[in-house]
Structure 1
Amino acid sequence: MPYDHRNTVRRTFALALAATGCCAVLAGCATSQASPPSGKAQESQAASQAAQGESGTQSRPPFASPRPSRSPVAAQGSGSLAGRTIVIDPGHNSGNFRHSDEINQKVNIGTTRKECDTTGTSTNAGYTEASFTLDVSHRLRDLLKARGAKVVFTHDGERPWGPCIDERARIGNAAHADAVVSVHADGSAVGHRGFHVILPAQVRAGAADTTKIVAPSRTLGERIADRFARATGTSPANYIGDGTGLDVRNDLGGLNLSTVPKVFVECGNMRDPKDAQLLTSAAWRQKAAQGLADGIATYLEG
């Protein structure tokens, strides 16, 4: 952006910028970190958000989309999370911007129909959200496996685009996950800083029924918000969530269609220079993964 994360950039604009060689805005390329270059209103605002992508804004295509580096793989043990299944959903896909026809296809999210997926956001330097989310997800996976958990990814950068938001939900449901965390970074205005956790609203419409997951998802979100702040030293968002770091939405298919506890985590705002400096730091991304892992473990350990 510098546009607000609620105002989706038209894909025609994204393609035009691609032709000029611009970097991506909503999907992952920084130059001075170890791994690169490889949202959200209250329920009452859901109607105005229906035209948005699943987790925010669109982006311009990146200069390149190499796979992000990974933290050292920790040995899986028989720790406190043994016997637990956790699904990690890395937001977006670096290839989405090349497949606008596919990701623009509408899918049913219960309350409405919405685009299959979006491209994601990026920093001003072009480090894309898709690269960020996959890097943090790899780090998170290693930490969770070290505690004995079974970890399932909705995708691992191996697909040319997607998966669609309804498929992402189905993957968590089919795994009978004890918890699902969708990893994202926001694309809001300059000066908007901090993280927030998106919780499912009470939804009963068509294939969507969140009745059973609203309460446990809130608990999961509260645990993650607490531990994420401790691990990263960052504060809840100053522009959404009333300072709590928690936001409730009924317009996200990934939440509406989930039958297991699930939250989205917006780790920071890629469009703010100060937040971007954190998000492009490999050391900070490791702290972010640690905060997510600690929050999930605290939730599952009761």
Structure 2
Amino acid sequence: MTTLPRATIAVAAVFACLAACGNPEASPAPPPSSTTATSTTTTSSAPPAPASSPPASTSSSPSSSSAPAVPGGKVVVLDPGHNGGNGSHTAEINKQVPAGRGQMKPCNTTGTATNAGYEEHAFTWDVANRVKDELAAKGIKVVMTRPNDTGVGPCVDQRAAVGNQAKADAVVSIHADGSDSAGAHGFHVAYSNPPLNAAQGAPSSKLTHDLRDGLKAAGFATSTYIGTDGLSPRADLGGLNLSERPSALIECGNMRNAGDAGTMSSSDGRQKYADAIAKAIMAYLS
């Protein structure tokens, strides 16, 4: 991504973003503040417990007749990008952590926002909870990488650890981009490339394509400025590099584009994203 900055460790489930937000791990936040992090902590040495969260929406989800059947016992980790407390804890989120392929990167970033001030961390939290509700209604166990939208982090390596420890059947990180390029709009799905393990190969490729196809089928336009036909191979995203489970990262659109921002800022728009993402995940699991 490319972002305008804004957004601890609160883990109950995984992931990371890019180029400001399009590279969620690439753009450091402003100079450190003296504020210390309030932490709800889950370390990578012990399996995280699923985070509880209230229903994100009263909007109706897709009927069961439109959703593919999913075998029992499936586990999905949802990783809502950034966090609401990141912006006021710059020392914590600027800390360097392993990001795979020998890289070190900032723990996390603040994320981007629409021109009207709707922040990425709030968007990703809302959409992830809507997806969670739809998947849980189908009997899928859902683990979230953070339990609320008021904490700090978790760092990108810790988000990856959540999915690995949960032995997730799929890990989906939800983000939004922040490009100021004229006319830049549309979604793209990032995946680790070249793959570093078997899960990053064919399984992640299938998950990535299912997510791309699901968003296209729901009427979302593919990115005009990153990747090809909605797919974006990446070697620089820590959450994807460090994952040992099938993983993908969705940039739902460009928050700096008026059309994309309008959809992301509306409850109906966020429900449309959630419906498409949940249905795509169920298609992958079926």
Q: Structure 2: which amino acid aligns with 1:88?
A: L
- CA distance in 2: counterparts of 1:202 and 1:240, whole angstroms: 18
Q: Per the alignment, in what secondary structure is the counterpart of residue 275 of structure 1?
A: helix
What aligned pairs does 1:281-300 form with structure 2 within 5 A after superposition? 281-300=266-285
- CA distance in 2: counterparts of 1:245 and 1:223, whole angstroms: 11
TM-score (normalised: structure 1): 0.75
> Contact between 1:54 and 1:118, CA under 8 Å: does it hold in 2?
yes
Structure 1: 5+ residue stretches without partners: 10-24, 28-38, 42-48, 60-66, 204-208
Tell me the CA shift for residue 229 of structure 1: 1.7
- The share of aligned pairs that are identical, in percent, is 45
Which residue in 2 is equivalent to 1:100?
Answer: 90
Which residue in 1 is equivalent to 2:113?
Answer: 122
Which residue in 2 is equivalent to 1:54?
Answer: 25
**Distance change (3 Å), C-alpha of 1:73 and 1:275:** closer
- CA distance in 1: counterparts of 2:71 and 2:139, whole angstroms: 5
- CA distance in 2: counterparts of 1:147 and 1:100, whole angstroms: 39
- CA distance in 2: counterparts of 1:55 and 1:292, whole angstroms: 25
> Contact between 2:6 and 2:87, CA under 8 Å: does it hold in 1?
no
- Give the one of 185, 190, 194 matched to 1:198: 190
Cα deviation code 1:230-279 (max 9, x no counterpart): 22x1211011112x100010111100100000000000100111110111
Q: Structure 2: which amino acid aligns with 1:283?
A: D
User: Does 2:214 align with 1:222?
Assistant: no
- CA distance in 2: counterparts of 1:161 and 1:40, whole angstroms: 18
Tell me the CA shift for residue 167 of structure 1: 0.2
**How many pairs are equivalent?**
245
Tell me the CA shift for residue 125 of structure 1: 0.7
- CA distance in 1: counterparts of 2:137 and 2:60, whole angstroms: 6
**Distance change (3 Å), C-alpha of 1:74 and 1:147:** farther
- Give the one of 240, 256, 263 matched to 1:271: 256
- Give the one of 230, 233, 237 matched to 1:248: 233
User: Does 2:160 align with 1:160?
Assistant: no
Greater mean alpha carbon deviation, residues 135-144 or residues 186-195: 186-195
User: Root-mean-square deviation (CA), in Å?
Assistant: 2.6
Which residue in 1 is equivalent to 2:222?
Answer: 236
Cα deviation code 1:164-223 (max 9, x no counterpart): 0000000000000000000000001241110000011125xxxxx334322211110101
- CA distance in 2: counterparts of 1:188 and 1:158, whole angstroms: 23
Cα deviation code 1:280-302 (max 9, x no counterpart): 0110110100111111111111x
Q: Per the alignment, in what secondary structure is the counterpart of residue 137 of structure 1?
A: helix
